[in-house]
Structure 1
């Protein structure tokens, strides 16, 4: 399997998917999402794989969401290089991000987010839907949507509220502040925090533990945990449609332009 935006490895009963766009702080494009979905499906169907690791190259970022440099008034640009995996390149980026989240949730194997550096925006949502999150001490978590003219009104908000509680989830989205790894641990957003040089070691230890367990039992437990929030897929799908329409507004464009121009956005005129 040849990938450009990710590194995909399988070894000792685990699959590891690493976003490989360090020049963009591992922000994703449609191609990145296609490749991640394809790798997850391969791990799903490979009976030798018992656990999946998601991470980003380097120590600066796990993932910082969608690549704002390819976002226009019509949303995110669609790559022209081929059809993509099962023609997914024809879908808006928000739809592909939704498919990735749903694949993470439905793959009958535990998925561990190994967070090194920033987990922001859409990257933050990816780690939230993973079964477990292990963060390095330098990890930074947060949302940026309302600041850059975007939002995630599905898993990124509703499911986040199940993880950290309603009040905290609203704070995370409304204020767009950043939180340290220890902050994240205190609110139940991550499972463990370790020093940066021990991050990989800790995740590998967890994988060893998972792989030693009954795969059928783990798959049944994952399905059970998901069942209570399965209706959020419908909410997330509707939210994705709304987001695609929102990207075509001057308000959303102002958020994107302000981010690219490194200035505060001016949303005052849109309140009327």
Structure 2
């Protein structure tokens, strides 16, 4: 498969997947998701790969979630909401290799969820993380909510979703959402160091460990499946469309006037 929305490289036991849409802060569209899934599956099946690094192109953004410019009652691709988001997130979870998020900038919305589902996360001091769903008429009803609560705690997860604030990399480290924060100029070296340490370990033991960690929270997959079915219906409402329209028109949304209609 040829790639247009991502960069995919395999070298010295490390597979690197880079979301390559810096003009929209590495937001993903349907094509991006399909390429991401294909690359992640390839890395999983390649016995020469021992660890996967996920990042975003440029210095400004890791990923800012679904591309709102392509969202008007659907993103134009397959999947319940027009994006195979569930498969994209599951590809990270199901990959038998550890997946490290190299958080080089904004990781908001669906980008924050990608950080959540990755096994490990290393962030630049300039990175910021958080959710935006309820501000734009959306939500992640699976890993982005339930798994996030397991990572940062129930109260903090609700704060993240209900208030849609931005959190610094240091705050994300304190709440357990990222493992380590380093200066921007040291990010690549730190990620490389973690990768090398992982590559020294037994790949089978790591795969078993990952499966074991995942098994404890895998019921969230079913919650997400149900939630995305509801989300597809929600996206058809005037309330959700108000969020999309306000984002495109660069104004503050008025959800209340559409609520319940």
TM-score, with normalisation over the residues of structure 1?
0.93
Please point out which of 227, 238, 242 is paired with 2:230. Answer: 242
Aligned length: 260
What is the CA distance between 1:220 and its match in structure 2?
A: 0.6
CA contact (8 A) 1:63 1:123 kept: yes
Q: Matched residues in 1 for 2:75 and 2:165: separation?
A: 24
Residue 98 of structure 1 is matched in structure 2 by: 86
256, 259, 268: which one pairs with 2:244?
256
- Runs of 4+ residues over 3 Å off in structure 1: 92-95
- Per the TM alignment, residue 193 of structure 1 is displaced from its structure 2 partner at its CA by 0.2
The CA distance in 1 between the partners of 2:34 and 2:192, in whole Å, is: 26
Q: What is the CA distance between 1:271 and its match in structure 2?
A: 4.2
For 1:32 and 1:93, the matched residues in 2 are separated by 15
Gapped runs of 5+ residues in structure 1? 79-89
Question: How many angstroms apart in 2 are the aligned matches of 1:150 and 1:64?
Answer: 13
SS at match of 1:150: coil
The secondary structure found in structure 2 opposite 1:258 is helix
Q: Give yes or no for contact 1:94–1:240 (8 Å, CA) kept in 2.
A: no
1:87 alignment counterpart: none
**Structure 2: 5+ residue stretches without partners:** none
Distance 1:153 1:12 in 2: 37
Give the CA RMSD over aligned residues. Answer: 1.1
Counterpart residue number, 2:12:
12
| TM-score of the superposed pair, with normalisation by structure 2 | 0.97
Asked if the contact 1:75–1:92 (Cα under 8 Å) also holds between the matched residues in 2, the reply is no
Please give the secondary structure, in 1, of the residue aligned with 2:217: coil
Q: Deviations over 1:113-165 (max 9, x none)?
A: 00011001011101100000000000010100000000011100000000000
Query: Whole-Å Cα distance in 2 between the matches of residues 41 and 95 of structure 1?
Result: 17
